[in-house]
Homo-oligomer: A and B are copies of this chain.
Amino acid sequence: TRTIDLAVVAGDGIGTEVVEQGLAVLEAAVAGSDVKVSTTPFDLGARRWHATGETLTDADLDAIRGHDAILLGAIGDPSVPSGVLERGLLLKLRFALDHYVNLRPGKLYPGVTSPLADPGEIDFVVVREGTEGPYVGNGGSLRTGTPHEIATEVSLNTAFGVERVVRDAFARAQARPRKHLTLVHKHNVLVHAGHLWRRTVEAVNAEFPDVTTDYLHVDAATIFLTTKPSRFDVIVTDNLFGDILTDQAAAITGGIGLAASANINPDRTAPSMFEPVHGSAPDIAGQGKADPTATVLSVALLLDHLGLGDEAKRVEATVAADLAERGSRVRSTAEVGRELAARVAG
């Protein structure tokens, strides 16, 4: 018997609702096998912050480190000042656990309506750098609140950090039929960071000679995501551009209700974290309206990361089958979860 020790950060708003269904599907996926799931809930997010002023303590982080993986729902609430939970909890987890590969598939499943008139076949994956760039928190403000205020944000990019995520993206491209990698940056303006990315892609390409590459400025990438998303296979990009492009990718493939993500530590020096791309959606929280599909697809990424490839494929195929039949049927969060779990259990 193998036990998956899962840290569960349900978080805020719809986070708790979708995580419950994600866990139900996870249980169903391993039911009857010799894999067991053991979950440890972590009370992190807005509620905890209001009660204690804490976002993520060293003790929390240590406890989380002992797990095989993390399932996260959503973090954030309007009652908490902007940035407190994002920087103090979500990004702290990604940075402290060295989640340098933020993996976000962009796939239009049959039966899902895209807002694009002629979407074509959309099936790409964005490898977003997760531990550097403009997300490092290296900014400040001087004479704050006066007419002489100056605020800075520093994007930090290292050869070490760029090379490891680029290599991961190449490996993913090589494992896919089209074997194509697109670097997205803005090297005509952000010349220093941009040229580091560019040189790195050129250098690492030598290790993957069968992978073809091209380059797009981030502004042009938003155009192609609108007019010809089928051109993309694997995209590698920095933390901020990846944030932007993956929300657009979610929009063209049916919305953030379906968009999964994995924050991966490929060196396995700490647990990886799996979370839907969507936020806590306080406007619909507690109403059973949230679509748990993105969380369930994130569970598939989790299973795959833990070496349970067959189970991962089964979960994804189940979601695909459900989406194909879904139509405009309105179901509650729990109904979707229950149907998916039943189908996965088979």
Contact = CB atoms under 8 A, between A and B. Distances in A.
Given A226-B248, A227-B115, A153 B154 contact: yes
A121 to B, nearest CB: 15
8 contacts: A83-B188, A87-B189, A134-B155, A135-B189, A152-B157, A189-B243, A222-B247, A225-B248
Interface residues of A, number: 68
Number of copies: 2
Interface in A118-168: 118, 134-135, 137, 139-141, 143, 145-160, 163
Contacts of A189: 83, 86-87, 91, 134-135, 240, 243
A82 B153 contact: no
A194 interface: yes
Contacts of A116: 115-117, 226
B154 A196 contact: no
A191 interface: yes
Nearest to A252: B226
A151 B115 contact: no
A225 to B, nearest CB: 8
Contacts of A255: 223, 227
A23 interface: no
